[in-house]
Structure 1
Amino acid sequence: MLDVALVVVALTTAMAMRPWRLLSNRKALVTQDHGDSSPLWTPLLATLVVLPWLWALPTLHQMPLQLQWSGACLVMMCLGWPLAVPALCLVGGIAYALSPGLGAAEALRLTVWHGVVPATFAMLWGALVRRWLGTKVFAYIFGRGFVGSVISLFLAGMLSAALGHQLPGVNEDLTTIARWLMAWGDAVVTGMMCAVFVAYKPQWLATWSDDLYLYGKKD
C-alpha cells in the first residue's frame, strides 16, 4: 500500500504541473522558437524504448545477481521531474508487459524505488546544489549529474531495504555494499551522459539552461 500511495502522490503532483507543455514547445531554450515541437521528445522516447528492457533484464535471464539498472536520475536530468515521473511509471508498466517473470508487485516496486523515489531525491538535491554552489557548469555536471545520482540512488536503495525489499541473491550483510556499488555504476553513466549532452545536445536536458549556467542570466 505504501508503494501505491507514493506513486499516486507523485503522479498526481507531477500531472498538476502539466508536464505535457514541455513537449509542445521549449520557449526557454534559445535554440527553439515559440510553438516548435520540443527536443525533449528524443530523450522521452529513448527512455520508453531502452529503460524498460534494462529494468526487465534480470527477470528475462537466469542471473546469479538480479540487479536492475535504474537510470532514474538521468531521466530526471533530461526531462525534469514533472515529466520524468509519468515517464518512469510508463517504464514500469512496459517492463511488466515485456517480462513474464516480472510480477505486478515487483513492477510496482521497481517503479517506486528504482524510478520515482531516486528521481525525486535527485530533484531535491539539484535544488540544494543550486542554493549552495550556484549556477556553475561544474556544479551541474559533477554536483548534480554524478554526486547527486550516487546520493539519490543509494538513499532510495537503503530506504527500500529498510522496508524489507531485499536484493535477490545478495546476502543481507552485503546489501549496503551492493547498493552502494550499484549507485556508483549508475552515477558514472549519468554524470558522463550529462557532460556529453551539455557539450553537444543541451536541448535534451530540461534542467539545463545556457543563459543560466553559461551567461549567468537570472531571467
Structure 2
Amino acid sequence: MFLEASIAALALLLALLMRPWRMLASRPGPGGSQDLIASALITPLLAVLVLLPWAWALPTLYRLPLQLHWSAAPLVVILLGWPLAVPCLLAVGAIAFAVSPELSASEALGVTVWQGLVPATLAMLWGTIVRRWCWHHIFVFILLRGFLGTVLCLFIASLLGQWAGHVLPNVHDDLSRMARWLMAWSDGVTTGMLTAVFVVFRPQWVATWSDAIYLQPPMPGDRSDKP
C-alpha cells in the first residue's frame, strides 16, 4: 500500500503544479464579447465522474470467476489531458470506494493507481512520442493514441500491477497475463471508437486534439511528415 500511496501522491503533486483548473476556466465569447463561455471540458469531466466509478467498482459488486476490469484511463487522458486526468481519476477511485461496500481502502487505492494513474501516465508519455515522431494526421491520432496506445499502456500497467501484488483472484499467473492482454484489447477497441466519434463530432471535448496540428498538411522538410 505504501508504493501505491507514494505513486498517487507524486502524480497528484506533479499534476497540481501544472494548475489543471485553468482548463476549466470560462472564456470570453467570440469577437471579444463580454459574455463568458463555460469550458467544454466540463461535460466529459462530469461524465467520467458519474460513469467510471461504477465500472471500477463492478468486479466487487458482482463476484465472477474472472473479474473483468475496464480502466478507461487512456481515454480520460485523451479527453482531459494528463494534469486534469490525475485528480479526476483519484476522485473516481474515491467514489468507487464509496459506492462499493466490498471494496476496501487499500483495494480502492490499488485500483486507482494500477487501473488509473499508471496507465494514464503511460498514455501521456505515449502521446508525447506519437506527437513528436509520427505523422500528424487524424487517423494516426485515432489509431495510435486511441487504439494501439491504449492496448499497450494498459497491458504494461497491468503487468506492473501484477508484479506489485495487485493480482486477479483465483487465476494462475500465466492465465492472468493472457486475461490482462485480452482486457487491454477490449479497452483499446472502446477507446479507439470513442476517440474517433469525439474527434469528428465533439472535438471541443478532446483536450489533446488540435485542428491546427492534425488537419493541416505537413510542411516540406518537417520530420513529422514521415510515417
TM-score range, shorter chain: over 0.9
**Aligned mates of 1:217, 1:14 — CA distance in 2:** 32
Q: Flag as ranges the 4+ runs of structure 1 deviating above 6 A.
A: none
Cα deviation, residue 26, structure 1: 6.5
Conservation of the 8 A alpha-carbon contact between 2:136 and 2:218: no
Code of the aligned partner of 1:36: I
Aligned to 1:123: 124
Code of the aligned partner of 1:85: V
User: 1:17-72 CA deviation, whole Å, 9 max, x = no partner?
Assistant: 11011111468xx9xx8952111011100000000000001111222212221010
**Aligned mates of 2:144, 2:26 — CA distance in 1:** 28
Q: Work out the percentage of aligned pairs sharing the same amino acid.
A: 56
**Aligned mates of 2:65, 2:200 — CA distance in 1:** 38
Q: Which segment is superposed worse, 146-155 or 126-135?
A: 126-135
Conservation of the 8 A alpha-carbon contact between 1:24 and 1:35: no
**Aligned mates of 1:123, 1:10 — CA distance in 2:** 12
Aligned to 2:98: 97
Cα deviation, residue 171, structure 1: 2.0
Conservation of the 8 A alpha-carbon contact between 2:59 and 2:67: yes
Q: 2:18 aligned with 1:6, yes or no? A: no
Cα deviation, residue 122, structure 1: 0.3
Q: 2:113 aligned with 1:108, yes or no? A: no
After TM superposition, list the pairs within 5 Å mapping 1:1-219 onto structure 2: 1-25=2-26, 35-215=36-216
Code of the aligned partner of 2:48: T
Cα deviation, residue 130, structure 1: 1.3
Root-mean-square deviation (Å): 2.0
**Aligned mates of 1:62, 1:180 — CA distance in 2:** 21
**Aligned mates of 1:97, 1:216 — CA distance in 2:** 48
Distance 1:216 1:37, change over 3 A: farther
TM-score by length of 2: 0.90
Distance 1:203 1:65, change over 3 A: same
User: 1:84-113 CA deviation, whole Å, 9 max, x = no partner?
Assistant: 000000000000000000000000001100
**Aligned mates of 2:71, 2:136 — CA distance in 1:** 26
Conservation of the 8 A alpha-carbon contact between 1:211 and 1:217: no
**Aligned mates of 2:83, 2:10 — CA distance in 1:** 12
Conservation of the 8 A alpha-carbon contact between 2:11 and 2:117: yes
TM-score by length of 1: 0.93
> Which runs of 5 or more residues in structure 2 are unaligned?
220-227
> Which runs of 5 or more residues in structure 1 are unaligned?
none
Cα deviation, residue 175, structure 1: 1.3
Code of the aligned partner of 1:185: S
